[in-house]
Amino acid sequence: MQRINMAPLSSRGTGLRWVEPFHRVRDCDLSSGRISWFVGGKLNVSVNCLDVHVEKHPDRVALIWERDEPGTEVKVTYRELLETTCRLANTLKSHGIQKGDRVAIYMPVSPLAVAAMLACARIGAVHTVVFAGFSSEALAGRIQDAGCKAVVTCNQGVRGARVIDLKSTVDAAVKSCPTVQHVFVSQRTQQPAAMGRLDVPLEEVMSRQSSVCPAEPLDSEDLLFLLYTSGSTGKPKGVVHTQAGYLLYTSLTHQYVFDYRDGDVFGCVADVGWITGHSYVVYGPLCNGATTVLFESTPVYPNPGRYWETVQRLRISQFYGAPTALRLLLKYDDSWVKKYDRSSLRTLGSVGEPINHEAWHWFHSVVGEGRCPLVDTWWQTETGGVCIAPRPAEEGAAIVPAMAMRPFFGIQPVLMGEKGEPLSGNSVSGALCISQPWPGMARSIYGDHQRFIDAYFKPYPGNYFTGDGAFRSEEGYYQITGRMDDVINVSGHRLGTAEIEDALDEHPAVPETAVIGIPHDIKGEVPFAFVVLKDDPGLDPPVVLQQLRNLVSTKIAKYAVPDHFLVVKRLPKTRSGKIMRRILRKVAMETTGDLGDVSTLDDPSVVKEIIEAHELYRKQKK
């Protein structure tokens, strides 16, 4: 497999346009969480994503906005996107937004959302895109943590013919966010939004701005964006990504993992609110001068053929989607795929969670007709881009189904044993770490660098700990075996169980809860909540459980609401008070035949109580 040696890189050799060349490739110390790439260099990300392409081919299509209603796509050229970005950047500047200020973006997938990201990058502001399905409380928490000075949003969003009111969510959020000085409101639908003291009609003010905005020269390590992700504690963490290393890594992975070629239409159907949307809808493709698809709708609207009808109409070359959507679609008849021409497809990709064999084979053989390489990509919000994937590989090299397989250029995986020792040889399983830094990796957790060190570099000193377990096969390929902490993956959304527990524990009738993840045919995993209620004869458990569902929906998002609630008298705890979650997981998955060592439990009789409660719950569900 080809390797890139990062040491001899020059400013010319990176393929990026620099304002000032860097004088050192990297200065990193993983033990202290100090990571710097391209030291001393200055550049501007929006220039590399827009201006350099406008100079060569201004009328090339940059974005194809696949709107909710099929057949109403909107094409935006590089010249048009640059002009929109500059007008938006000038609008932000005219309202006092400066280099280093944080701007929250709470928008559906759209050209204006992309322009908002690039406008921030152009003037040196730091964007934090918040998925437009999050509740007002979740949005407020992110705005508060980042200290955002402004919010960019829409009046409404449209998804699967459903209209979602976004402005009212923002209004509720900013009431508790004193740092917010302006809310820029775009019109996605005809419905007028109620405008208040902070609100600025975005299209109206943009129309008065110049379509030229000088780009701010930014240091390689200046902040580009924050993206909030769930961890094993209740509070989401603002993962910090910086300028040059992130852009180089996303552009390289976009090119080599997906076999991107000039003229391709790249179809990543992720939302811009997640890292996949940042890296493979926006920054990677645009840095490479690609035509990238913005998919606003759902996989089943107006019917289960939506993805493949879109592939046919837009002539998509690479299709990058999530296993949860594939598992949903393979339950429908294959005719929904085969009625559309998919001959434009050259590469298929899977992202968000390990793909199961059934979905892999259906995607490869039915959608790809057995002729398209299928890359099962492993990476994280924190890694910035793909770290392990079947490609890059020699042409014609075998791909093992449902396996991430090979490290990308510069990525050195290592598996660690229970005593913190590196595991040598093959056919071994351990904690997946990466032993040397790479350009796209996160630099910190915003406002809490110690948490960054504790989470990623303390568990296995000198290595980046991914939080995932992995198996290295006889051939030396990597298979991801799942999270090693209390983070679950619901339909590709990473969700900390502690975050759900924090929401549930706010109910006055609930002294404590424990949430674990269990497998689900379509969603991958779903939360299962064990709930202890106060000993109060006036309590009505069904009413309380409905209130708990509403609480999680309000505090986090609808997708975070547990599929199962089991009321128990108490939770299994060790003598030191730690909840034994592995026992709860076995109960929920009905594998209580082997509970393992329960000698550390404070009172082992609690297990029998919980098993009996679960059996009763199961009978009632039938």
Round the average pLDDT of the chain to a whole number and report it: 92
pLDDT at residue 232, rounded to an integer: 59
Q: From CA 378, how far away is CA 505, in angstroms rounded?
A: 33
| DSSP letter for each residue of 279-338 | IIIIIHHHHTT-EEEEE-S-TTSSSTTHHHHHHHHHT-SEEEE-HHHHHHHTTS-THHHH
- Range with the lowest mean pLDDT among 115-119, 353-357, 436-440? 353-357
Per-residue pLDDT of 301-351, as tens digits, reads 999 999 999 999 999 999 999 988 998 898 899 999 999 999 999 999 999
What amino acid is encoded at 99 in this protein?
K
Share of the chain above pLDDT 70, in %: 95
Q: How confident is the model at residue 246 (pLDDT cuts 50, 70, 90)?
A: very high
Q: How confident is the model at residue 597 (pLDDT cuts 50, 70, 90)?
A: low
Mean per-residue pLDDT for 73-102? 98
**Contacts of residue 256, Cβ cutoff 8 Å, sequence gap at least 6:** 391, 392, 408, 409
Per-residue pLDDT of 529-544, as tens digits, reads 999 998 888 889 999 9
> Is the confidence at residue 3, as pLDDT, over 50?
no
- Range with the lowest mean pLDDT among 7-11, 53-57, 205-209, 500-504? 7-11
Q: Within 13 Å, how many C-alpha atoms sit on residue 619's CB side?
A: 5
**pTM, whole model, 2 decimals?**
0.87
> Is the confidence at residue 5, as pLDDT, over 60?
no
pLDDT at residue 10, rounded to an integer: 59
> Is the confidence at residue 575, as pLDDT, over 70?
no
pLDDT at residue 98, rounded to an integer: 97
Mean per-residue pLDDT for 180-197? 96
pLDDT at residue 12, rounded to an integer: 54
> Is the confidence at residue 420, as pLDDT, over 60?
yes
> Is the confidence at residue 1, as pLDDT, over 50?
no
> Is the confidence at residue 170, as pLDDT, over 50?
yes
Residue 485 phi/psi, 5-degree rounding, is -120, -170
The helix/strand count (H/E) of the chain reads as 19, 33
Distances (CA, A) of 3 to 170, 297, 440: 46, 39, 17
> Is the confidence at residue 147, as pLDDT, over 80?
yes
Per-residue pLDDT of 253-303, as tens digits, reads 999 999 999 999 999 999 999 999 999 999 999 999 999 999 999 999 999
pLDDT at residue 2, rounded to an integer: 36
Q: Which two tokens stand for residue 269?
A: 């159907």
Q: Which domains does the chain have, with CATH numbers?
A: 487-621 (3.30.300.30)
pLDDT at residue 112, rounded to an integer: 98
Per the model's pLDDT, the better-predicted residue between 577 and 136 turns out to be 136
Q: Quick one: residue 605, left, alpha or beta (phi over 0 = left, psi -120 to 50 = alpha)?
A: alpha
pLDDT at residue 320, rounded to an integer: 98
pLDDT at residue 235, rounded to an integer: 78
Mean per-residue pLDDT for 168-178? 97
